[in-house]
Amino acid sequence: LGDGVRHLTARAARPVTALVLGKSEVRELMRRDREANRAIRRAYRDRLQALFIAISPLLAALDPGLVQRLLAATKPVGLMAQRVVIEQGGESPGLFFVLLGRLEVSKEVRGKRSVLGYLEDGDCFGHRPLIEARAGEHTIRSCGFVQLLLLPAAECGSFLQEEHLRGLLAEQLEAR
């Protein structure tokens, strides 16, 4: 997933022939062949989405058709440590789903930063400013490498019209 850690081990159920390409060979192939680039990116995105479906209590509560439409509109975002995703008082670029990693939620009052909590695998954030139409109240910053899925703000409107999804997001806000 880009963080250098093995997240999956696969065992063949029957004998298979496997082709193993190193990272540099894959990058070269993607650079040279536009169609291969698209196919590899699509496979990577599908893998991230499958991972998120498996770990997200929010998506488990939704209709599978809505989940597929929602995920089709997302894009993967990878961030290194200490990157600000949403700044306190700033606009949210959309609804984020945490696939991998940890993010710090903090608030600055009179020049002093206080850590309020953390977001981890399966959590989502960025929807409060979109639902309530106001600036974000917290800063969200990556603690280490994080892999996110972003549903851009422009795409969020139609999904936030879905009462069940809107209700689940509101429940999540109240729980925090």
pLDDT score for 1: 47
With beta carbons less than 8 A apart as the criterion, state whether 157 and 115 touch: no
pLDDT score for 171: 74
With beta carbons less than 8 A apart as the criterion, state whether 90 and 98 touch: no
Q: What b-and-e string marks burial along 44-66, b requiring 16 or more CB atoms within 10 Å of the CB?
A: ebeebbebbeebbebbeebeeee
Which of 98, 85, 102, 95 minimizes the C-alpha distance to 55? 98
Which of 115, 118, 95 minimizes the C-alpha distance to 106? 115
pLDDT score for 141: 95
pLDDT score for 138: 86
Q: Which residues are registered as beta bridge partners of 160?
A: none
Distance of alpha carbon 165 from alpha carbon 128, whole angstroms: 13
User: Taking the model in full, what pTM does it have?
Assistant: 0.71
Distance of alpha carbon 154 from alpha carbon 139, whole angstroms: 21
Mean pLDDT in each 10-residue stretch from start to end of the chain (176 residues)? Answer: 57 80 84 88 78 76 83 88 91 87 92 92 76 72 92 82 75 62
